[in-house]
A and B are shown apart, each in its own frame.
Chain A
Amino acid sequence: MIRPAALVLADGSLFEGEALGAMAPGGIATGEVVFNTVLSGYQEVITDPSYAGQIITFTTPHIGNYGVNTTDFESRRPFCRGVIVRDLARRHSNHRAEASLDALLRRYGISAIGGIDTRRLTRLLRDAGAMPGAFGPLEDGVDQAALRAAALAEPGTDGIDLVAQVTTPTAYEVGGSNNSQGDRLIVAYDFGLKQSILRDLAALGRVRVVPASTTAADVLAMRPSGVFLSNGPGDPAEVGYAVDAITGLLGEVPVFGICLGHQLLSRAIDGHTFKLPFGHHGGNHPVRHQSTGKVEITSQNHNFCVDPESIAGRAEVTHINLNDMTVEGMRVHDVPAFSVQYHPEAGPGPHDAKYLFGMFDELMGGDGRSRPSVQGQLIQQELGVG
């Protein structure tokens, strides 16, 4: 049974489609509309906490083809506000599948809209920037005007501490039991930590995941070998408490940050972050590792970016994005700390930058267990276990 639905953006643009997934409270889902260009990995994207507050548009027309499974969750639940697709598979097919994507969306209360000219939407977002939007089935009093009003009322992600919504309420520990470096402790700040990162860290030692608000003193008291700053949603300027904690950690313990963690590290050394026109959301961005000149194809998901001028003198830019020449990685001078804007853990995306976990291992004194290689051995193990 097709339920006609519509999407309206804050600028009034209207897109017609059909309702999918869960029914939003009041029938209208709102959020900041962004797009992602990955060809595969919709489950990982949808369950990535960095999308808190956002509605994800997939540029790939067919979504849901291979179903969903318990292994590919990137967090305990999706935090995004909605999903926009051209076509949601009626039937999926893959030996790993345990359920359909539609079932996952319904289970976690995520609304979706299908049949959308996602290319028109993407072109619009590319030119106008990410913008608030609202969608829902055209029934029970919901019409274009109501959707428009909802879109205009949606605050977007600027100026909001979204990290507080996604971080773990309590600390917990993973890894260590069958790990040669089992006695080595890594503290991982959860600003919206992805499971893929946790798996890569767990290969390096025992990982204690702590809430975003944990202080430097509390962390140092755990006597960790290294501290990891995770990815997460939203504006780094709204997470001042984390910046304070990082400032207290620098020089005391090796630090490695990814994505939001990278932005927070830059703020801890007095850098500035700014919002990109429409962010980087895809699995195909070329990043040059400045010291080797080699190009990595990377997974990306961020709207904010570090201003290279603002960190000059405090840190060295180690990686740059070849599409728009923005900062993709840095190493802080004089203290053992480095970070990247993109996602070396993949999930979804290419494995080209897995070596960064090896660098973190070395920074912590080396001898971590197996370093993930381009062979994807880790993933193979994962499949073997799962």
Chain B
Amino acid sequence: MPKRTDIHSILIIGSGPIVIGQACEFDYSGTQACRVLKEEGFRVILVNSNPATIMTDPDFADATYVEPITWEVVAKIIERERPDAVLPTMGGQTGLNVAMELFNRGIIGVPGTPEMIGANAQAIATAEDRDKFKQAMIEIGLKLPHSGVARTIAEARQVLNDIGLPAMIRPAYILGGRGTGIATTPAEYETMIANGLAASPISEILIEQSIAGWKEYELEVMRDSADNCVIICSIENVDPMGVHTGDSITVAPAQTLSDVEYQQMRDAAIACIRRVGVETGGSNVQFAVNPANGDQIVIEMNPRVSRSSALASKATGFPIAKIAAKLAVGYTLDEIPNDITKMTPASFEPSIDYVVTKIPRWAFEKLPGTSGILGTQMQSVGEAMSIGRTFPESLQKGLRSLEQGRLGLGCDPAEEHLAHLSDDQLLAAASIATPERIQQVGELLRRGVAAERVHDATKIDAWFLDQMGLIVDERHALADIGLQGMDRRSWRRAKRLGFSDAQMAYLWGIDELIVRAARQNAGVHPTYKTVDTCAAEFAAETPYHYSTYEDENEVRPSDRPRVVILGSGPNRIGQGIEFDYCCVHASFALRAAGFETVMVNCNPETVSTDYDTSDRLYFEPLTREDVLNVIEAETAASGGVPPKVIVSLGGQTPLKLSGLLPVHLIAGTSPASIDLAEDREKWNALCDELVIPQPPGGTATDLEQALQIVDRVGFPVLVRPSYVLGGRAMQIVHDRNHLARAMAELAGFGSLGKEGGLSAERPVLVDRFLEDATEVDVDAVRDHTGEVLIGGVMEHVEEAGVHSGDSACAIPPQTLPSWVVEVIEAYTRSIANALDVRGLINVQYAVLGTTVYVIEANPRASRTVPFVAKATGVPLAKVATRVMLGATLAELRAEGLLVPPSDHGHVAVKEAVLPFNRFPEVDTALGPEMRSTGEVMGIDVTFGKAFFKAELAAGTLLPSEGTVFLSLADGDKPAGLVVAKRLRELGLGIAATAGTAAYLARFDQPVDLVVGKVSEGDELTAVDLIADGKVSFVINTPRGRGGRTDGEQIRKTANSNRVSSVTTVAAALAAVQGMAEQAGDHLTVRPLQEFHARP
């Protein structure tokens, strides 16, 4: 069936901010969908609140709404745009949930309204409603775990009688398994059913027989309107059932299923997509297999593109989202050519001749109080994917791709942490799923503990364990042979098992570069193979490569000038989609300017690892060895001309590599300039020379030095390690004891130690902390002529002390006097010139009274670059990239790439999105350590309205009725008075703690209810009030030092009861302003294209 001609405009629902369980993969899918549908001539309307996405670039849709993704707002967009169809399957669970809410209200999917394409409401309900899904699967003869559905605690208790413990609890309509868990005791069961019912938007949970320890698989299946079905990829989890698939190490294709079993699973997956009724597009179906007898049961299916489909796309080269978008508008699989072979149709099943491993990355070190134990609820914040010809090679590449100080499966300095554990202790540790388990398993095998015992403890399949055993055996062999004994055959054997040069350097106690030289002398170089969907059966056009050690290299020669762009690796808190946005923009800009672009990255979720984004993609770890290898391969392919390398767009990952790469290849700002900004002594001297004030401070490598600094500058001080992003381990320190603790933590081989520890090369920065200062961020671009373009000046809502990544901010600045903005711009120009910046620079300031202090300057892309671009309409990343390769701003202006910022008197507000709803044990108070996973943008005609939208998009519901609970630190009370007054004016009730209430009463603002201290066990406390649902909003600001327990309890209670809260008085002021401006007024929607329109 050819393309449908009865629809002309399509609304695509994005997935919103990056949260745990819903990350860049939906930018990847959504970007593909937008592109394809635009190419097909449809009018594409997009809604996504996340400004850091590539899909929200105004070029990708005809109307781009950076607006909150709630049914009310999307309904307004539908009213304004009147699309013919809505595609809900590209925006993850958010897209499906909003679509269902719109359907339930008769706004889409019923006659006379936009049609739902991809998956209709019935299919979504069948897949998402646990009970309906169960019935559907039983109908087609597929097995499920024994289970029952409960809507109340009493029903849940009843169900337990039939199933027995251990039991798995899964809430209906949730994303990433939130509220899911396995209960093994009656007490755990009681807690989990309550949490589960609370987590489900429809208060419904499924209780199932626990099948922990079974093998877990996923199949990616696609179906077209002619009912053709194909399986794109099979995925096998190394971690057995019991660990969420997003938190599992997974491998593609499946490795331990015989064909008979695989075909049975394939039949089941196809039957499942047919019965659920996904008419066109992709779904993933999860299975559990009993290793004892092969029994297969269906776990769940997602009737949409997913994290797994993004992984499957990258793993096979088959672009699932792109094809799904084409299927949604009527094409059938046999009408669509395979993108990679060009010669064969998309109606086939990819065959792959390599092994893909995906390894999650967690951020437990940023969330004190969490157990770090993996379960059925997803907790990872990112993932790395690696490709090797064999599982051992792929696994070791994946482990070093994580950038957590590991060089592979052990055989690195970090393995020494496990040395103090006995075999039994180690086995006991490995029996619990944690991020460390894979390395613990490696260590057990290294010690010669029998694979059977390791299997009994971990339930990891014996084949995987034996493959890891091959790595361990090779390590012993390498130790025996020694560097001197290595010949070509032995080098090749080690490299084929994925050993990095650095691992061998550790093993032999020599420098990595000596290993590299010796290996190269032996003639052992990596070869680059191609991901081609067909295991080489057909010639492939698409240059998507991975390294391995084989006979033949497939990189094709070319003589165009080429630029290697180093990506940002796995997502982590502090380094995510914003940097992928910059890398992708760099590639687009350079391709348009005639360069050949080469992307190196290992994050399967991203747009940068779409083989369409660059001229060539190397799916490789971002380590010195792997990057040097790519540079050498590219040099060889262009007849000896080395490429330029971009290190300043991918965040800290490539920046850390810059010193390890040939200096003359680095495009843009020189490594010497980067060092000038990073090296504290040099930077201080520079600021002095420029007469730009800095908070007083210094660098310390031990406590004594730190104390000397404090003696000079006084408390409080801000203590932070150098060379890390995202405020890792940053603390505000108020006294000597606290300082000693902070220094000890930094020196210890704790979580930070993994990233390098404390040393002379990586000292700690100790600076006077400027209390109550206003923080300001600036992104600017400077070209080689010295012209500096100020991209955006952002004023933070939260005061200094809250990490800039966790703080809301606004463009243009809202409270700064214009002269202060001018000073900031002048300082920025001066610093950019002094550093001889070629490209982007981000400078952070703190404004206190009439003094503008510079906090730090980073001559690289910052997290805010995409936000600035969306707010102003200036493609900052593209401009900066061209400048790095030699263009001047004047030339880019003439070319039309650089346009003046749009000015429609609008305000854009960025708000951070925090992962606390997944970690009820964590205090939600903001601090200097960044913990947000993503961001949203609100854009409107006033600050208040834009802030209101940003809060709504971030999931913070600013109330229009009910009671607000106030509990303020002393210093915050005057501002709190204003907050209370505004709340009154808006007709809201106020409850407060005794201290806050007394203060307010003194200024004639009596509260409605005074509650006692939690810690004193009074009869009615704030915690009771919140838990009873009597509070619609919480304003609780932590005290500067100590005494946090009460507030912490209040915030945690609000968090677990899903009552929105703010933890700074600045945010409270912004919130009441937003509420006041929004009150009684209808929220209006407007696409970016209108905000960006030039007169």
Contact = CB atoms under 8 A, between A and B. Distances in A.
Contacts of A288: 334
B140 A375 contact: yes
B259 A40 contact: yes
Interface string A345-386: 011111100000000000000000000001110011011000
A95 B461 CA distance: 11
Given A123-B536, A295-B333, A94 B258 contact: yes
B267 A284 contact: no
A118 B352 CA distance: 12
A272 interface: no
Contact of B535 (A60, A294, A383): A60
A347 B461 CA distance: 25
In the complex, the 5 A-B pairs of residues with the closest C-beta atoms, listed nearest first: A41-B259, A348-B259, A59-B535, A120-B552, A91-B466
A286 B271 contact: no
A326 interface: no
B550 A72 contact: no
Interface string A57-94: 00111100110010110000000000000110111111
Interface stretch (B54-62, B248-256, B1007-1015, B1019-1027): B248-256
A359 to B, nearest CB: 19
A94 B256 contact: yes
B494 to A, nearest CB: 13
Contacts of B529: 119
B535 A90 contact: no
B552 A297 contact: no
Interface stretch (B104-112, B288-296, B703-711, B1057-1065): B288-296
A223 interface: no
A237 to B, nearest CB: 26
B65 interface: no
A379 B267 CA distance: 11
B331 to A, nearest CB: 13
Interface string A317-343: 000001100000000000000000000
A150 to B, nearest CB: 21
Nearest to B258: A66
Interface string A161-178: 000000000000000000
B687 to A, nearest CB: 56
Interface string A212-225: 00000000000000
Contact of A66 (B234, B256, B266, B538): B256
A174 B333 CA distance: 40
Nearest to B348: A286
Contacts of A226: none
A122 interface: yes
Given A15-B551, A61-B354, A122-B353, A286 B270 contact: no
Contacts of B347: 286, 295, 297, 322
Contact of A95 (B292, B345, B550, B552): B292
Nearest to B470: A90
Contact of B263 (A66, A91, A350): A350
A106 to B, nearest CB: 20
What is the size category of the interface that chain A forms with chain B? Answer: 35 or more
A40 B351 contact: no
B990 interface: no
B345 A39 contact: no
B544 interface: no
B153 to A, nearest CB: 38
A293 interface: yes
B511 interface: no
Contacts of A286: 333-334, 344-345, 347-348
A348 B263 contact: yes
B462 interface: yes
A285 interface: yes
A118 to B, nearest CB: 7
Residue in A35, A293, A295 whose Cβ sees the most chain B Cβ within 10 Å: A295
B263 A349 contact: yes
Interface string B322-356: 00000000001110000000011101111111110
Nearest to B289: A95
Given A95-B291, A122-B536, A322 B260 contact: no
Contact of B539 (A37, A126, A379): A126
Given A44-B259, A72-B260, A322-B348, 20 more contacts: A37-B537, A40-B254, A40-B259, A60-B351, A89-B466, A90-B470, A92-B463, A94-B257, A94-B261, A96-B261, A120-B550, A283-B349, A284-B350, A286-B333, A295-B226, A297-B231, A322-B334, A322-B345, A349-B259, A383-B294
Contacts of A349: 259, 263
B259 A96 contact: no
Interface of B: 140-141, 226-228, 230-231, 234, 253-264, 266-268, 270-271, 291-294, 332-334, 343-345, 347-355, 389-391, 461-463, 466, 469-470, 489, 529, 534-539, 550-552
A117 B463 contact: no
A142 interface: no
Nearest to A127: B539
B550 A376 contact: no
A279 to B, nearest CB: 10
Given A59-B535, A322-B347, A65 B463 contact: yes
Q: Is the interface of A mostly helix, strand, loop or mixed?
A: loop
Contact of B348 (A95, A96, A126, A297): A297
A95 B351 contact: no
Contacts of A65: 255-256, 463
A126 to B, nearest CB: 6
A117 B550 contact: yes
A61 B256 contact: no
A4 B488 CA distance: 13
A51 to B, nearest CB: 16
A44 B463 CA distance: 20
A342 B135 CA distance: 36
A383 B258 CA distance: 12
Interface string A118-133: 1110110010000000
A38 interface: yes
B258 A126 contact: no
A35 B259 CA distance: 18
Contacts of B227: 294
A95 B294 contact: yes
B257 A66 contact: yes
A349 B263 CA distance: 7
B232 to A, nearest CB: 11
Contact of B264 (A90, A284, A293, A376): A376
Given A96-B261, A293-B226, A91 B463 contact: yes
Contacts of A282: 351, 535, 537
A175 to B, nearest CB: 20
28 contacts: A15-B551, A40-B254, A40-B262, A41-B259, A43-B258, A60-B352, A60-B535, A61-B354, A62-B355, A72-B260, A94-B258, A94-B261, A95-B294, A117-B551, A118-B353, A119-B389, A122-B535, A123-B536, A295-B226, A295-B334, A322-B345, A323-B345, A346-B259, A347-B259, A350-B263, A374-B267, A374-B271, A376-B267
A243 B296 CA distance: 45
Contact of B551 (A4, A120, A323): A120
* B231, B270, B292, B538, most chain A CB atoms within 10 A: B270
Contacts of A126: 536-539
Nearest to B352: A39
